[in-house]
Structure 1
């Protein structure tokens, strides 16, 4: 046992940190000092997320685009006057058509020597009506189509604008939620260096203590094998049932003898003394 304990004593100086362990823990602590450089970025990110992350920065521009489009479609989108004659340039185009028809018709009758006749006037009126009616109807329909198309596009633009604005608001709210979560993550990141340093210092203390504990688990029980102890103990013997019966029968025999050769009092006292 003395030899074993002597060998354990040789390991006691080796329970401290090894050079490799010490260098590794020192490197960890040195690296921890560099984490502080990220703290401003972490704080900036967290603050930005809590403020929406700039999600609504373009909301004004998006809405202005809609207002500009709305202005550009007016008064066409809200105009319900489909009169072709109120359409810019329509009268000039119609006048040109009437002039062409008149010149053509009158020229034909003049060549036949029947200009300014009743048939000339009738043919001219019918020709003008047949020539301009489709033009008037087409322009009317075009005016309706233009107004309805502009109104529909304006409605769709309003929905698109509302959808974009809603999406930006949802992104804003989502960014705020991310910012709330980033608060704890940011604190953990900023405290990571200090926590790692504390862990490294704990390792510096814990490794030697762990090594000493391992030696103690081996040495203490071995050292206890050579110890002696002294003391006093009291024990009580318990008679078996057979021994008790034999003793009772012996006492009764003494009682019977006393009753035959001695006074009965002597026999009773012998039995009482036995009991």
Structure 2
């Protein structure tokens, strides 16, 4: 026995409040498509690249000089060329100074010419003292001998002491000068070694300097051309960030829905009885066929 009814509904809607933005988007896309042929090299870019290649080719003429300079710097640039002369000068000074600098014999009598000076002083004192006593008729007396000995000691003692002190001073001075000369020589050699290392570093860093200088103009042209192409594309990108989201706000949607109803038993019985009553009425005064068809349609 039937008791179900089904209905189908179709719905569609369109939301396109920002339709004017579509023209903006089309304009942006049109300009972007116009830039597609420009993705290749421009004439300026091509010329700049040709310049770099030409400079690279002409750089061969500078290779010998660059290689010689680089090799010379890597070898120190002649910074140690004077090291031998410095060491030889120190050795010569050492040889000339060392006999005195290393001498620890301070005996005045071993000093050249000291004995002659002492002998002369003794002779002068002796002659003067003896002459005085001879004039008095007391030569060769005990007083003569005592006076002579005291005179000699008083005359030559200061000379001996002075020479001894001078010998010590000369030795110490020579030793100090020799020490200072050694320090000076070491400092000069250290400075030359530092310059040697610095020159070698300069040699390493100078390899690419020549080509960089020749290519600087071409590189600047490439950078300018990149800006010339990039600025319009950047502007289009800014417009696209505005136009694309707005254009995407519009759209259409459609769908279908079906509804099925299930009647209760009471409703079904009521509908049957209503159909039977309609059939009876049609049998009395109306067309029986229409009443039967109504009941069948319901069932």
TM-score range, shorter chain: 0.5 to 0.7
Match of 2:95 in 1: 71
Alignment of 1:251-266 (within 5 A): 255=268, 258-262=271-275
Measure how far apart 1:270 and its partner are. Answer: 6.2
Higher relative contact order (CA 8 A, sep 6+): 2
2:192 is matched with which residue: 168, 189, 192? Answer: 168
Residue 57 (structure 1) aligned with residue 76 (structure 2): no
Measure how far apart 1:146 and its partner are. Answer: 0.9
Measure how far apart 1:174 and its partner are. Answer: 2.2
Cα 1:202/1:120, change in 2 over 3 Å: closer
Cα 1:155/1:234, change in 2 over 3 Å: closer
2:179 is matched with which residue: 152, 155, 171? Answer: 155
Task: Give the distance between the partners of 1:60 and 1:150, measured in 2 at CA.
Answer: 23
Q: Please, which moves more after superposition, 110-119 or 54-63? A: 110-119
2:66 is matched with which residue: 30, 38, 42? Answer: 42
Alignment of 1:93-242 (within 5 A): 93-182=117-206, 186-190=207-211, 192-193=213-214, 210=229, 235-237=254-256
Measure how far apart 1:103 and its partner are. Answer: 1.7
Q: Work out whether residues 74 and 204 of structure 2, in 8 Å CA contact, stay in contact via their aligned partners in 1.
A: yes
Structure 1: stretches of 5+ with no match in the other structure: 1-7, 9-14, 218-232
Structure 1 segments of 4+ aligned residues over 6 angstroms from their partners: 33-36, 201-204, 251-254
Cα 1:234/1:72, change in 2 over 3 Å: closer
Structure with the largest fraction of strand: 2
Measure how far apart 1:39 and its partner are. Answer: 4.7
Cα 1:169/1:257, change in 2 over 3 Å: same
Q: Work out whether residues 48 and 219 of structure 2, in 8 Å CA contact, stay in contact via their aligned partners in 1.
A: no
Q: TM-score with structure 2 length normalisation?
A: 0.59
Task: Give the distance between the partners of 1:101 and 1:145, measured in 2 at CA.
Answer: 29
Match of 1:3 in 2: none
**What secondary structure, in the 3-state scheme, does the structure 2 residue paired with 1:171 have?**
helix
Q: Which has the larger radius of gyration?
A: 2
Cα 1:36/1:195, change in 2 over 3 Å: farther
Q: Work out whether residues 254 and 270 of structure 1, in 8 Å CA contact, stay in contact via their aligned partners in 2.
A: no
Q: TM-score with structure 1 length normalisation?
A: 0.63
Cα 1:160/1:235, change in 2 over 3 Å: same
2:104 is matched with which residue: 73, 80, 84? Answer: 80
Q: Work out whether residues 98 and 175 of structure 2, in 8 Å CA contact, stay in contact via their aligned partners in 1.
A: no
Measure how far apart 1:152 and its partner are. Answer: 1.6
**What secondary structure, in the 3-state scheme, does the structure 2 residue paired with 1:236 have?**
strand
Structure with the largest fraction of helix: 1
Task: Give the distance between the partners of 2:255 and 2:171, measured in 1 at CA.
Answer: 121
Measure how far apart 1:72 and its partner are. Answer: 0.8
Task: Give the distance between the partners of 2:145 and 2:188, measured in 1 at CA.
Answer: 63
Match of 1:222 in 2: none
